Amino acid sequence: MAYRADYTHKIETHKGRQVIVIVDLNIGSKPVTEDIENVVAEIAALEKIDPCDHLVVYRDCIKVWDGYDYRTKEIVLLHEDSENWRDAASLYIQFELNKQLATT
């Protein structure tokens, strides 16, 4: 059996966007941060979704929310320490808007 992250997930809607919400269970296996590409691919297969159509936010083993861009395979550092995933999703949406504005 492969050394993989242990996590829970759900698919939610926030501000008109579909969001994959992942929470690292922090029970001694690989952290979600180190296995995020596999975690998102596994969720996509299970839920029969295209992860490119979703925001991905995850709460890591130290209880901080970050994002993941499945298209570029990059972690989006949000450093959100709220208990609420919606705060992280809002930051991610703002990050995307700022990025778009910077390229226009």
Q: What are the structural domain ranges in the chain?
A: 7-102
List, for residues 65-80, the tens digit of each pLDDT value.
999 999 999 999 999 9
Q: Which residues contact 58 (CB under 8 A, 6 or more apart)?
A: 7, 21, 22, 23, 24, 32, 33, 36, 39, 65, 66, 67, 68
With cut-offs at 50, 70 and 90, classify the pLDDT of residue 17. Answer: very high
Q: d(Cα 76, Cα 67) in Å, to the nearest integer?
A: 5
17: helix, strand or coil? strand
Flag whether the pTM goes above 0.85.
yes
Q: Which residues contact 15 (CB under 8 A, 6 or more apart)?
A: 89, 90, 93
